[in-house]
Structure 1
Amino acid sequence: MELPILIFTAIAVMVTITIISLTRPNRGLKLPPGPPGWPIVGNLFQVAGSGKPFFQYFRELMPIYGPIITLKMGTRTMIILSQADLVHEALIEKGQVFATRPAENPTRGVFSCNKFTVNAALYGPVWRSLRKNMVQNALSATKLRTFKDVRMTAMDKLVDRLKTEAEANDGAVWVLRNARYAVFCILLSMCFGVEMDEKTVEEIDDMMKTVLITLDPRLDDYLPLLKPLFSKQRKRAMEVRQQQIATLVPFIEQRRAALRDPGSDPTAAEFSYLDTLFDLTVEGRKDPPTNPEIVTLCSEFINGGTDTTATAIEWAIARFIENPSIQSRLYEEIKSVVGERKVDEKDIEKMVYLNAVVKELLRRHPPTYFSLTHSVIENAKLAGYDIPKGTNVEIYLPGIGEDPKLWANPDRFDPDRFLTGGETADITGVTGVKMIPFGVGRRICPGLSMATVHVSLMIARMVQEFEWQSWPEKSKVDFGEKLEFTVVMKNSLRATIVPRV
């Protein structure tokens, strides 16, 4: 685009947005406090130009403006909550009003088939149909048990991968990479019900990562009139979407063929999440999901549980290395419950200390800084402030899990707080909001039960098989963090493993 056209476009955009800003319906409302913004763009360029990750920028605002803060991000109004009582009021007491999702940017809409997913759907019949199907037909306790062998096989492969890598590297292994591969394999099997070799798994994984990168926010998401300046990025997004469809549709058709002719594919599993999608009845629609919609739903199922679980495992191993007594105590509990055999899923239900470790892990290291964005279906009130219809409502999770008013020594990683310390926390939020790693209320993560099983089982097997030590020897663990798809360690954790005798 030539320079004069760029200048003309910029001027036109600024004039148009000025008119919008002067007539916007939020004028005169009592919004929560927040930093003063610039004309037209609000706080958008302040955030983008700060040179800091958004979570860090927000952390610095909390001591100034309190637990409920407004940011004007171009044409969007963002209200961020970081206190338990505010989240309880919004998502529990007024749950229906705060249960929808905001308008979606065009790029993300391409990948979600215009909000045809459990996480992205507006509060209404489509969301109810998709969520009911996922919970009842794929993630219920009964259905989860049907995938027990898949998980046990993946755990055996994880142990073998770790041993092989350690033998080639003087005992050193990369934690996140191996944990991520294991849980990705589990979710692929649960989703598609077909057997895949390692090369295929890695190809699908690379494609999924490319999709997630493509979905990173851009300036035109907040200032839509800047779209002419981002045509190359939009074209690239369409190319990635076609790649995603081309990669996954063959597995969809392979499973469809196996269901039509039972016994024709000896590697096919008896059941998969995909089976529930072929003839899914969605309220308000006559036809079942199309292949692109099935691709979207399968991608949601796989992506939703991969990085969140793998990240939790990395933080857990880091905490075990930092505090060997926690690891030793956990190992002793495992031995007392299972003896010499491999840990089984039924065993983890009996491990009181393991459950405390997992709960403390989710409190101290929730998978993300912010839960999935909520929005209000009508004008609402929260803590005496106006929340206009369509506002983006964000929940800052560490503000709750690290609140000294709710937790004794909140910065300390201490599983005993749930045992001898007498502290309690319901991660579903039903009995009160103290930690919400999976969200809370009507839009709570449907994969909560699956995620806790995967995290608990992986930790138990990894501690049962190996003693985890620092690498290099006697080095300190760096608990710095950064945001990728989830909150990961700033320096990916490499550890030394010693096989148990």
Structure 2
Amino acid sequence: MNFSTISMDFSSFSFSTSLCSYFNLSTTALVFFVSVFLVLLSRKAKSKRVKLPPGPPGWPVVGNLFQLARSGKQFFQYVRDLQPKYGPIFSLKLGTRTVIIVTSPELAHEALIEKGQVFANRPAEHATRAIFSSNKFTVNSAVYGPTWRSLRRNMVQGMLSSTRVKDFRDVRNSAMNRLITRLQAEAESTDGVVSVLKNVRFAVFCILLDMCFGVGMSEDTIVKIDETLKDVLVTLLPRLDDFLPMLSPFFSKQRKRALEVREEQMQTILPLIEKRRSALLNPGSDETASMTFAYLDTLFDLKIEGRKSVPSEAELVSLCSEFLNGGTDTTATAIEWGMARLIQKPEIQSKLYSEIKSTVGDRTVDEVDVEKMPYLNAFTKELLRKHPPTYFVLSHAVTQPAKLAGYDIPANASVEFFSAAIGEDPKTWSNPKEFDPDRFFTGSEDADITGVTGVKMVPFGVGRRICPGLGIGTTHIKLMIARMVQEFEWSAPPSQDVIDFTETLQFTVVMKTPLQAMMKPRT
């Protein structure tokens, strides 16, 4: 889905307890902080004053960081509380960073479609994140320009085109069968109660691994790679020195840990890359007999505009990690929310099962079938409207100072599009808080999720930086939900009368209480 969580973006920004604890600075740190503060106050402002969108007043130097920390809320919750007061566009000052929040479909369209070229950049990266992106050498972190064009064109044409995606049909079918088997095995030992997110996430990760490296792997290897990439994501969670670089001397342990995680990532992924390279250089070897085409094959000799060299080993590791991380948690999260909605509203589940049954009869549903199921497609669209996996699309920046809604957008500002609010705009949707697939099924309401014909929801972003994994992401969601509903009837476990839809932020916005579901084989 969003094929990168490796760039610094506010979709993963949460002031957790551990992050808030950094405000309890030592005496030395406080003296340093105050000294720098006094120096900053003594300087005269030389830059031209800009007209930023309105926002809550902040403190000198730290801006709104203390208010955010003291609220005890995660970033998306804090923004949601500010929206009624400040409207469709407002700004926050988080330390040295200016953050502009956009919450309306109209302004998202103005920025990302009408002024798409200007708003197609990415903000500057913290030094730690640059380590993992190989200095912005990934599709989603790259500066808008020739490197980005080369990387994105390669990913879309070489791997994520509709034709290429169809080539991996057998891989997906194998992963679906594996998922059903895992669910059955777990249910046998737990009286029918299974963990949805854990099992779905594993299935998605297996698909992407096969697509990336072109070979099947043992479960131990899969788990090792997954754990390594999770460590990467944890390391990339925002820190206080992201917003107050003056405090960076006090984060030496975190920087050291980041280098250690990067080394672990290199040691885990690089052998897979080298094994693939060796096999391609020896096409008649036994290793190539079971190999299929892979994303990695498109990267070895990739030509980048304005650059003579092919990607380095570190850059290959970053690109493969982006491919794997970007499509795993986003897809799995969407499916967890989807299954929760099917349990909450059994009438929707029954309607979906009837459509599957009438479409395929007694045979196993296939991905070719899902496009022939209008109710499944309506359900998926409503799922992405109500539960976009990340509540902010990846951070945008302007290529040059610009205007939006009459306000100034500085070149160094992070522009954040609040997808959760855009998909629930009351001027766009009737009963926006209600989960209702019929709004799409009956045609009373509709939305182009690509944004080409208008912006009403942005689960994948829109415009020039729209997620390149849109097609494959929706395919995985539809196919997994269809297979799970075809095989099993889903309900809440006996110990839980009502599904808890409270949200919390991990790498994506997930259910605070992970979904445990009772499943019963269909007869």
> Same fold judged by TM-score > 0.5?
yes
Structure 1 residue 380 displacement after superposition: 0.7
Q: In the alignment, residue 385 of structure 2 is paired with which amino acid?
A: R
Partner of 1:363: 385
Q: In the alignment, residue 257 of structure 1 is paired with which amino acid?
A: S
Aligned residues of 2:397 and 2:411 also touching (Cα < 8 A): yes
Any residues of structure 2 matched to 1:202-281 within 5 Å, and which? 202-264=223-285, 265=287, 268-281=290-303
Aligned residues of 2:503 and 2:512 also touching (Cα < 8 A): yes
Listed as ranges, the gaps of 5+ residues in structure 1 are none
Q: In the alignment, residue 299 of structure 1 is paired with which amino acid?
A: S
Partner of 1:182: 203
Task: Please list the CA deviations of residues 65-93 of structure 1 after superposition, one character each: whole Å capped at 9, or x if unmatched.
Answer: 11101101111111000001111111111
Partner of 1:138: 159
The structure-2 alpha-carbon separation of the partners of 1:260 and 1:58, relative to structure 1 and needing over 3 Å to count, comes to same
Partner of 2:437: 415
Q: In the alignment, residue 242 of structure 1 is paired with which amino acid?
A: E
Aligned residues of 1:305 and 1:451 also touching (Cα < 8 A): yes
Partner of 1:457: 479
* Separation in structure 1 between the aligned mates of residue 68 and residue 290 of structure 2, nearest angstrom: 49
* Separation in structure 2 between the aligned mates of residue 19 and residue 170 of structure 1, nearest angstrom: 68
The percentage of aligned residue pairs carrying the same residue is: 63
Listed as ranges, the gaps of 5+ residues in structure 2 are 1-24
Match of 2:334 among 297, 309, 312: 312
Compare 163-172 and 34-43 and name the one that shifted more: 34-43
Partner of 1:480: 502
Structure 1 residue 13 displacement after superposition: 2.7
* Separation in structure 2 between the aligned mates of residue 277 and residue 49 of structure 1, nearest angstrom: 46
Aligned residues of 1:194 and 1:267 also touching (Cα < 8 A): no
* Separation in structure 2 between the aligned mates of residue 127 and residue 266 of structure 1, nearest angstrom: 31
1:470 aligns with 2:499: no
1:401 aligns with 2:423: yes
Partner of 2:218: 197
* Separation in structure 2 between the aligned mates of residue 38 and residue 83 of structure 1, nearest angstrom: 28
Partner of 2:14: none
Structure 1 residue 30 displacement after superposition: 1.2
Structure 1 residue 8 displacement after superposition: 4.4
SS at match of 2:217: coil
Task: Please list the CA deviations of residues 354-387 of structure 1 after superposition, one character each: whole Å capped at 9, or x if unmatched.
Answer: 0000000000000111110000111111111111
Q: In the alignment, residue 116 of structure 1 is paired with which amino acid?
A: F
SS at match of 1:119: coil
Structure 1 residue 49 displacement after superposition: 2.6
* Separation in structure 1 between the aligned mates of residue 205 and residue 97 of structure 2, nearest angstrom: 35
Match of 1:383 among 405, 428, 441: 405
* Separation in structure 1 between the aligned mates of residue 54 and residue 101 of structure 2, nearest angstrom: 10
1:346 aligns with 2:335: no
1:166 aligns with 2:190: no
1:392 aligns with 2:423: no
1:120 aligns with 2:125: no
Task: Please list the CA deviations of residues 236-257 of structure 1 after superposition, one character each: whole Å capped at 9, or x if unmatched.
Answer: 0010001000000010011111
Aligned residues of 1:13 and 1:226 also touching (Cα < 8 A): no
The structure-2 alpha-carbon separation of the partners of 1:19 and 1:351, relative to structure 1 and needing over 3 Å to count, comes to farther
* Separation in structure 1 between the aligned mates of residue 393 and residue 126 of structure 2, nearest angstrom: 18
Partner of 1:78: 99
Partner of 2:56: 35
Compare 8-17 and 172-181 and name the one that shifted more: 8-17
Structure 1 residue 46 displacement after superposition: 1.6
Partner of 1:89: 110
SS at match of 1:28: coil
Q: In the alignment, residue 436 of structure 1 is paired with which amino acid?
A: V
Partner of 2:124: 103
Structure 1 residue 40 displacement after superposition: 1.6
Aligned residues of 1:176 and 1:493 also touching (Cα < 8 A): yes
Match of 2:312 among 290, 309, 312: 290
1:156 aligns with 2:177: yes
Partner of 1:439: 461
Partner of 2:18: none
The structure-2 alpha-carbon separation of the partners of 1:121 and 1:422, relative to structure 1 and needing over 3 Å to count, comes to same
Task: Please list the CA deviations of residues 149-186 of structure 1 after superposition, one character each: whole Å capped at 9, or x if unmatched.
Answer: 10000000000000000001000100000000000000
Q: In the alignment, residue 453 of structure 2 is paired with which amino acid?
A: T
SS at match of 1:427: coil
Structure 1 residue 7 displacement after superposition: 4.7
Q: Could you tell me the TM-score, scaled by structure 1's length?
A: 0.97
* Separation in structure 1 between the aligned mates of residue 291 and residue 366 of structure 2, nearest angstrom: 21
Structure 1 residue 16 displacement after superposition: 4.1
* Separation in structure 1 between the aligned mates of residue 496 and residue 317 of structure 2, nearest angstrom: 46
Structure 1 residue 43 displacement after superposition: 1.0
Aligned residues of 1:258 and 1:268 also touching (Cα < 8 A): no
* Separation in structure 2 between the aligned mates of residue 388 and residue 183 of structure 1, nearest angstrom: 39
Structure 1 residue 472 displacement after superposition: 2.3
Structure 1 residue 17 displacement after superposition: 3.9
Aligned residues of 1:67 and 1:82 also touching (Cα < 8 A): yes
* Separation in structure 1 between the aligned mates of residue 375 and residue 497 of structure 2, nearest angstrom: 27
Aligned residues of 2:279 and 2:288 also touching (Cα < 8 A): no
Structure 1 residue 5 displacement after superposition: 4.6
* Separation in structure 1 between the aligned mates of residue 289 and residue 89 of structure 2, nearest angstrom: 53
Partner of 1:18: 41
* Separation in structure 1 between the aligned mates of residue 49 and residue 72 of structure 2, nearest angstrom: 32
* Separation in structure 2 between the aligned mates of residue 113 and residue 422 of structure 1, nearest angstrom: 47
Aligned residues of 2:88 and 2:103 also touching (Cα < 8 A): yes
Match of 1:54 among 75, 86, 90: 75
Q: Could you tell me the TM-score, scaled by structure 2's length?
A: 0.93
Task: Quote the RMSD (CA, aligned, Å).
Answer: 1.4
* Separation in structure 1 between the aligned mates of residue 102 and residue 26 of structure 2, nearest angstrom: 42
| Runs of 4+ residues deviating >4 angstroms | 2-5
SS at match of 2:160: coil
Structure 1 residue 4 displacement after superposition: 6.8
Aligned residues of 2:204 and 2:328 also touching (Cα < 8 A): yes
* Separation in structure 2 between the aligned mates of residue 491 and residue 474 of structure 1, nearest angstrom: 11
Give the number of the structure with larger relative contact order, counting CA–CA contacts within 8 Å between residues 6 or more apart: 2
Task: Please list the CA deviations of residues 9-45 of structure 1 after superposition, one character each: whole Å capped at 9, or x if unmatched.
Answer: 323332344356x5363x5211110000111211122
Q: In the alignment, residue 62 of structure 2 is paired with which amino acid?
A: V
The structure-2 alpha-carbon separation of the partners of 1:281 and 1:475, relative to structure 1 and needing over 3 Å to count, comes to same
